[in-house]
Amino acid sequence: MTDLPQPTPAPAKPRSGAQPAAPGPSPLPPVGDRFFRQLVESMRNGVLAITRDGRVVAMNEVAYRVFNIEPSPGDIGAPYTDVLHDQPDVVRILGTAFELQNLPNRAELRLKTSGKVIGYTLSHVRDDAGEVIGASLFFKDLTLVEQLEERERLRDRLATLGEMAAAIAHEVKNPLAGIEVMAGLLRRRLPDSPEAQGLINDIIAEAKVANAIVLEVLDFVRPIRLQVERTSIPQVLHDAVTTAERKASRGGVSITLNVQEQLPLIQADHHQLVQVFSNLILNALEALNGTGTIAITAVRGEGYVEPSAESRRPAPATVVVEVADTGPGVSPEILDRVFNPFFTTKPQGSGLGLAIVRKIVDAHNGHIDFTSTVGQGTRFRVTLPLEAGEGWLQ
């Protein structure tokens, strides 16, 4: 008996009112290493990753820029101690990555080589089994934030000092003027006494010094009202050198002035900037004590703008002026106190010169920093925007 073929069953019809099943989601295409490299490069924060044996496996553009390192094709795979040899602070932090259980989170660090402030988080990189196979450093340049916070702290200090200055002006300035006048009258009444004349002259000189300190305190706490106009930096520097030489003897000090050709005019207060640079030159002259070199340079520069995936606006134009001397330099212990009001290393100084300089630069929405090495000299750098306003700092 021959088996008959079995009929193929008809497909089941859906029940009345039932909807056909929706197709499932399409699987994501596989993501390659290129995607993750582009992800790291597109991040607005600095990214640096190393393996357990100390080789660099990732370092994005922001990291190179913050650390002032020129990218090289040989960086990936190289020891991080070689790539970051100019950033010993960062090398030290990475060196603790595999020794500590609790790594720093949202910590801050000031880079000694550039003065920049970074906020960073150090994390372990683990494999599927949970073993530590590397470390990653995520960081952000907080320099501009630090500047703005310092300005707020300075404003608070100025408010307190302003109240003190009013009392000083009333209680000290007028009596000092009286002492000076009465000493002058006494000097005329004792013309034949050389000893008395010498003592009286000392009294008048000391009264003048005390009065100058009072006036300097008043200048420091008084709000700055800028007379903004189109200002020539070369003319400012020429006037600053002349002003500084009137206050201190140049002696054997050589002063060189190197200004970039066709340097643009800036929106600024000419007289206030003359005070800034004459104070810096005067400090250098006093540090050199009659021998050495002061080099003044002025070039066009660019302000720092944080890289952004959403915006690629160009960095605003600035003028950068440097005043460098070959003096004894500043010891590391006092580097962070140089701009503090009333801090000075001079026997007769008031400690307000550099504080006033910083106040004027801040009023121009500029920035001042310095580097100093004991036995090699000091370099002050003043960065000023071409146009007045806060925009270049944002």
* 6-20 pLDDT tens trace: 555 555 555 555 555
Asked: is 229-393 a CATH 3.30.565.10 domain? The reply is: yes
pLDDT of 9 reads 54
pLDDT > 70 fraction of the chain, expressed in percent and rounded? 79
pLDDT of 15 reads 55
pTM: 0.54
The domain ranges of the chain are: 36-141, 145-221, 229-393
- % helix / strand / coil in the chain, to the nearest 5? 40, 20, 40
In the structure, what pLDDT confidence band is assigned to residue 391 with cuts at 50, 70 and 90?
A: very low
In the structure, what pLDDT confidence band is assigned to residue 307 with cuts at 50, 70 and 90?
A: very low
pLDDT of 114 reads 80
The CA-atom distances, in angstroms, between 43 and each of 32, 89, 149, 236, 310 are: 18, 23, 25, 42, 11
Which CATH number is 36-141 given? 3.30.450.20
The residues, ordered by sequence, that sit 6+ positions from 306 with a Cβ below 8 Å of its Cβ are 44, 62, 141, 144
- β-pairing, 46-51 vs 266-268, is unpaired
- The string of pLDDT tens digits covering residues 192-210 is 888 888 888 888 888 887 8
pLDDT > 90 fraction of the chain, expressed in percent and rounded? 29
Compute the average pLDDT of residues 321-331.
90
Compute the average pLDDT of residues 288-304.
85
pLDDT of 110 reads 87
pLDDT of 388 reads 62
Give dist(CA 44, CA 48) in Å, integer: 13
Compute the average pLDDT of residues 21-26.
58
Compute the average pLDDT of residues 353-366.
87
